[in-house]
Structure 1
Amino acid sequence: LRNALRAQLFAGATPAEALTQLNDFCVHMLRTEFATAVVLRVDLGSGQVEAACAGHLMPFLTNSVPVAVPAPIRLSAPIGVNGASYFLSTFTVDPGHGLVLYSDGLVERRGEAIDDGLDRLAMTLGGAGAVPAS
């Protein structure tokens, strides 16, 4: 799936178009497969972001405030759902702010609501906007 997605993006598809094409491939060729994904195209000079989300947890935006906030990306169905639509979201990451992507395993804990893990991550990332990437 990753290589099929890469091929679409390399050919010039927007993140939403790439997810739509990947979903069509998955529905027709891998009928029992499901996956989540978030796809972003970031202009490092301007901070402009094009994004689309297929059932994945939202990236967080960080800045100097105490709690990070979810990126403004419209959520769509996971890959593998027949007839799913994917939407292009655009936003800007301002200078000194950050964009953090993570896997669900970082916030999921057995016997705990996922919202608790998301809240914990948002608090941990709070105020981290000025921290350089590593």
Structure 2
Amino acid sequence: MPAAQRACQAAFLPDLTKVGEMRQTTRVFLRRCRVPKSVAGFVVLAVSELVTNAVVHGEGEVLLRITVALDLVRVSVTDHNPAPAVLKEAGPDGESGRGIRLVHAISDAWKSSGEETWCEFGYARAEA
């Protein structure tokens, strides 16, 4: 793809069945953008966690936007909950509370402003 930056966007109502659909959409988009598989796996995992958080804890419509630049993938998930996502310490038997900690661990940067939570993944672009 010759463009310096490409984007994929999806808007949907909160529904846990959308999580798997967004993972698959992300995989296909990253493959078309020739993002290395090693990075794409982490991006798909982050999409899964952020979309799940938006569906479970958000309010209203969910918007997923993935942007691929020359050496950076940015994932942004927006919902209408004004409370920002936060790092939590989940207990060993806890069934939730690990998603943002996981995104923090696998991404190069992340932040939540309330309605939007985003993360970024840098990578070395392969020579053609």
- In the superposition, the TM-score normalised over structure 1's length comes to 0.30
**Which structure's residues are more often strand, by fraction?**
2
Higher Cα Rg, which structure: 1
**Which structure's residues are more often helix, by fraction?**
2
- In the superposition, the TM-score normalised over structure 2's length comes to 0.31
